[in-house]
Structure formats: structure tokens, C-alpha cells
Chain A
Amino acid sequence: MLKKARITVAFLISTQLVGCVNLGVQPWERDLLAKEEMALDSEGNDLGLDDHIYFSKEATSGGRAFAGGGCGCN
């Protein structure tokens, strides 16, 4: 199961990267990234509540940090 998981993740990462030869965009091409739903912390309350549930019921905690992305303004 663990081995399968690792292979799946490696595959997913590589398929994502194949489509990106030049990483990044020009400042005026951030229209989609500027959308609220594209922010990494767009559902702050949900993520916080979920983290609390899973921290209480499982042995692992943590993971997310919220820097980067967005409209890149200022």
C-alpha cells in the first residue's frame, strides 16, 4: 500500500511538471491566481476546523503554511 502510494504520488508530480517548461508568469498574467478561490488559505475556517478534528483523532498534525500565490500585487 505504501509503495503504491509513493508511486502514485511520484507519477502525479511528474505529470504536473511535464506541462511546465517555463515556470512562472508575467505580473499581468495573474488574473486566475488572483481569484479568491485560488488562494492557498481561501477556506481558512474549514481548514482550521479540519486540522483540529484530525489532530484530535489521528497521530499526525500539521502541514500547511499560507505564503505565496495570489495576485502578486504590491
Chain B
Amino acid sequence: MKKKLNISAALASATCALLHPYASANEMLEGWKIDTSLMYYGETDRVSAVEAVIAGQKDFGEEQLLSGKIVIDTLTGASATGAVAQLTAQTVSRPSGEGTYTVSPGETPLDDTFKDTRVQLDGQWTQPWSDVSRITTGLHLSTEHDYYSLGFNGSYAHDFYNKNTTLSAGLAYSYDVIKPEGGLPVPFATKTASINTSEDYDDNEDDESEDDDDDNDNYDNDERLGSSDNKSTVDVLFGLTQVMNRRMLMQFNLGFSEISGYSTDPYKVLSIVNEQGLTQSLVYENRPDSRTKTFAFWQTKYALDFGVVDFSYRFATDDWKVDSHTFDSRLRINLTDSSYLQPHFRYYNQSAAEFFHPFLMEGQVLPEFATADYRLGEMSAYTFGLKYGTKMDNGDELSFRLEYYQQSPKNAGFTEPGTLQDVDLYPSVKAVIAQVNYRF
């Protein structure tokens, strides 16, 4: 017991300090259920992230619950810029304007300046409204060097038929500020310092000498709209949870989202190519400043004699014309009274956004909106994972999770001109997820 309190004191004092700096750690931590996780996410040759989560929940008795969460994540590595690969080497400038980097022939251009640390805080309070209903209110805060988000949420849940049926309705509002490195790019403005070199790539050094003059200011030669912009999101959610029988529980959720504000990714570009498939220039992308989304979600949990089956399906659609289907399933197999193994399989696919273009053709009129970000293109993805968990004598639980996630972007029907047919415009993204959890 003493050891438990010391670990609690050490790890959760950060959470409690924010709520009540002068209370003694032990006093604050009584009755808290803490769940901690450390996760590593690594894509081959691309982005890697390390994420740490500390989530706590305290029952104040009489159905009043306080829960809080702190997430800290650091991101490093490179992500696709949206530009197409070429048969020859390409030189591209960094978003901040600080220097250029060279992309080898056949390689998808990746921007490697993504080193970021994000801190997220969530707090939630649940209060009974009557003996068959509850209200929940929550706060959300997230901050990283170029993005800030503040959100509020509230929901009401009502039980019927001896809690066999629960209906809930929730509303959430979020206000985000984006302050990209190098300022906001003008849509479709040409990104400077993108030169095709016909020489063979044999130089590993980044060419920084050309940009010495620009080191003094934060902006490169490109025109900028301003330094920051914002975006608001309103979410409405309706939920129905139904106990089907002694072993089975189902949940149906219906959600609507309205996003308005700056939705463009300021770091992404599109390649303008000629009929031979050679990149002539890179232009900044542009996305609509509003998005209306709808989703339907259904989940079932079934208690087996040896474990639990968890299966869910989500259908989503929006006015950007991205339709997606997600199938997620987990099978928990209890090995002993205190340990289990849980395989996990997830399948996802989405259709391309209306304004998705893998590249733009030279000479054609520019569309109003365009993006080459593969995350808005047609793609399917699957995840295979395995989790192992064990409960210790003192009630604490330790678990490990290892997953493999592969995204396979697809051609949504664009004909590739000239040499673009000889490069891979839709490379797969493969990632490994490794995570350890400790619950006490």
C-alpha cells in the first residue's frame, strides 16, 4: 500500500498540482485510479512519435466523477509534402525558409523539419442530474509550436428500463489557432527554390548557402497571407446504449460536425507537371474553409466464457466527398484469472476528397481548391495488433501492445502523364506501434 501511494505521488502530482497546488499529495491521491501509457509510433523512413499519457479518475461518491488526462507527445521525422516523385533529383526549400534539401530520384519528397512537442490537457466532471440521469462537462487544451486548441464539451445521459437503455446527447465546441512556421502561404502561390537538377544525386549535404540572405527574417521569398489564422468546430453527438442480453451490449452513435475556418495544411504543396511528367513548379495547396461531416457508429461487446469480443463499424461522410468505412475488432482471451491476450484487427478505407489531385497539369486552369495530401486521397489501411496484460497481486495492471499499421494510398482515377508513370505516386506507409500501460 505504501509503495502504491509513493508511485501515485510521484507520477500524478503533476495532474493534482494544476487543480490544487497546496493540498498534500497523499490527500489528493486517495481514491484516484491512474492509467499511464507510453507509446512509440514509427513509420519506416518517415514520421516517428513518442507519446506519454497520464489519465486519472476519482469517484467522489454518489456518482460524481472527476477525470483528467495529460498527454505529451513529440514528433520527429519527415512527412510527405504532396509533391510528386521524379526520375531525377529535386531540390526543395524548407517551410521556414531556412535552407533547402535534396530529394533523390524516384523518392517521394518528404519534409524533414517536423520536430514538434505537443502538450494536451483534458478535464471532465460528471454529476448526477436525477437518479436516472447525469450531466458531464469537459475542457480540452492542446498546444504545440504552431497549433493551439481550446475546447469545451457537455453531454446529458438518461437511463431507461432499469438502465438497460441509455440515451445521450452531447455538444462540443473547439477553437483552434494555427500559426505555421514561415507564416500562412498564399493559396497556389509558387513555392520558391524548387529546382529540378539533371545531375545525378551524389551529394548528401543540404545546400544552405543560397539562403544566407534570408536567415535574418522568418519568411522565405514567398508572399504570405499573415502569420496566423483560426478554425472553429462544433460537434453534436447522439448515443444509444442498449443491453441486449446478459452477455451483450450494443452502442449506436450518430454524430455531426461543422468546421469553419482555416483548414488548409500550410506545409503541403502540389506539383505542377508538364506533359512529360516533369515538375515545373510547386504550389501551395488550398482547402475549403468549411466542412460538414456526419458519421454513424455501431459497436457491440459480447462476454464469452473465456473473454470478450468487441466489434465496431463506423461510416463517415462529408461535404468534401470523403466517405469512409472503419471496421475495428478486438478479441480478449483470458489466459488465467489475472492475464489475457488480445489480438486486434482494424480495416479502414476512404474515398478521395473532391478536390484531391495527386498533381496539377501545366497550362490548365487552377481549381478553386486542391490538395495532394495523401491523407485526403483514396486509400485503405489495416492494422494488426496483439496486446498482453497481467494483473498483479496488489491490483495494478501492466500491459503491452504491439501493432502494425499499413496505409495503402490508391489512384482515384488520375492518368499519369509521361515519366510520372515510372514513379510510385502512391507509396504505402508502414508503421509499427509499441506501447506499455500501467494502471493502478
The answer to whether A57 and B37 touch (CB under 8 A), given A44-B55, A65-B168, is: no
- Residues of chain A with a CB closer than 8 A to B298's CB: 9, 13
- Residues of chain B with a CB closer than 8 A to A26's CB: 162
Query: A5, A16, A27, A59: which contacts B300 (Cβ < 8 A)?
Result: A16
How many residues on A have C-beta within 8 angstroms of the other chain's C-beta atoms? 44
Cβ of A38 and Cβ of B326 under 8 Å apart? no
The minimal Cβ–Cβ distance linking A72 to chain B, given in whole angstroms, is 4
Cβ of B246 and Cβ of A32 under 8 Å apart? yes
The answer to the question of B429 belonging to the interface, with a C-beta cut-off of 8 Å to chain A, is yes
The answer to whether A49 and B325 touch (CB under 8 A), given A57-B407, A58-B348, is: no
The answer to whether A67 and B241 touch (CB under 8 A), given A32-B303, A38-B249, is: yes
The answer to the question of B322 belonging to the interface, with a C-beta cut-off of 8 Å to chain A, is yes
The answer to the question of B345 belonging to the interface, with a C-beta cut-off of 8 Å to chain A, is no
- Residues of chain B with a CB closer than 8 A to A38's CB: 249, 301, 303, 308
Cβ of A58 and Cβ of B303 under 8 Å apart? no
- Residues of chain B with a CB closer than 8 A to A60's CB: 293, 295, 314, 316, 322, 324, 326, 348, 350
The answer to whether A20 and B248 touch (CB under 8 A), given A35-B303, A58-B350, A69-B243, is: yes
Q: Which residue of A lies closest to B37 (CB)?
A: A45
Cβ of B303 and Cβ of A33 under 8 Å apart? yes
- Residues of chain A with a CB closer than 8 A to B235's CB: 62
The minimal Cβ–Cβ distance linking B425 to chain A, given in whole angstroms, is 18
Segment from B4-12, B87-95, B251-259 that makes contact with A: B251-259
Once the chains are docked, how many angstroms separate the CA of A57 from the CA of B377?
11
Once the chains are docked, how many angstroms separate the CA of A29 from the CA of B346?
32
Cβ of B251 and Cβ of A40 under 8 Å apart? yes
Within 8 A of B (CB), among A1-59: 1-2, 5, 9, 12-13, 16, 19-20, 23-27, 29-33, 35, 37-38, 40, 44-46, 48-49, 52-54, 57-59
The answer to whether A69 and B375 touch (CB under 8 A), given A37-B308, A45-B437, A46-B435, is: no
- Residues of chain B with a CB closer than 8 A to A23's CB: 164, 242-245
The answer to the question of B145 belonging to the interface, with a C-beta cut-off of 8 Å to chain A, is no
Query: B51, B73, B239: which contacts A65 (Cβ < 8 A)?
Result: B239
Please report whether the interface of chain A is mostly helix, strand, loop or mixed according to DSSP: loop
Cβ of A58 and Cβ of B324 under 8 Å apart? yes
Interface residues on B, range: 35 or more
Bitwise, B296-327 to A at CB < 8 A (1) or not (0) is: 01111101000110011110100010111111
Cβ of A48 and Cβ of B166 under 8 Å apart? no
The answer to the question of B357 belonging to the interface, with a C-beta cut-off of 8 Å to chain A, is no
Once the chains are docked, how many angstroms separate the CA of A32 from the CA of B63?
21
Q: Which of A12, A30, A45, A64 has the largest number of chain B CB atoms within 10 A?
A: A45
Query: B41, B166, B257: which contacts A68 (Cβ < 8 A)?
Result: B166
Cβ of B164 and Cβ of A25 under 8 Å apart? yes
Once the chains are docked, how many angstroms separate the CA of A30 from the CA of B248?
10
Once the chains are docked, how many angstroms separate the CA of A70 from the CA of B177?
39
The minimal Cβ–Cβ distance linking A50 to chain B, given in whole angstroms, is 8
Cβ of A67 and Cβ of B165 under 8 Å apart? no
Q: Which of B155, B247, B379, B429 has the largest number of chain A CB atoms within 10 A?
A: B247
Query: Other than the known A37-B308, A37-B332, what 7 A-B pairs have Cβ atoms closer than 8 Å?
Result: A26-B162, A46-B387, A49-B435, A53-B433, A65-B239, A65-B253, A68-B157
26 contacts between A and B (CB under 8 A): A1-B349, A16-B250, A16-B300, A20-B248, A23-B164, A25-B243, A27-B162, A35-B308, A37-B307, A38-B308, A45-B53, A45-B55, A46-B437, A48-B69, A49-B37, A49-B39, A53-B41, A58-B348, A60-B293, A62-B255, A62-B297, A62-B316, A63-B297, A64-B297, A68-B166, A69-B243
Contacts from B to A (Cβ < 8 Å): 35-37, 39, 41, 51, 53, 55, 63, 69, 71, 73, 155, 157, 159, 161-166, 168, 170, 235, 237, 239, 241-251, 253, 255, 257, 293, 295, 297-301, 303, 307-308, 311-314, 316, 320, 322-327, 332, 340, 348-350, 353, 375-376, 379, 381, 387, 401, 405, 407, 429, 433, 435, 437
The 7 closest A-B pairs by CB, nearest first: A68-B241, A24-B164, A68-B166, A72-B163, A32-B303, A63-B297, A67-B157
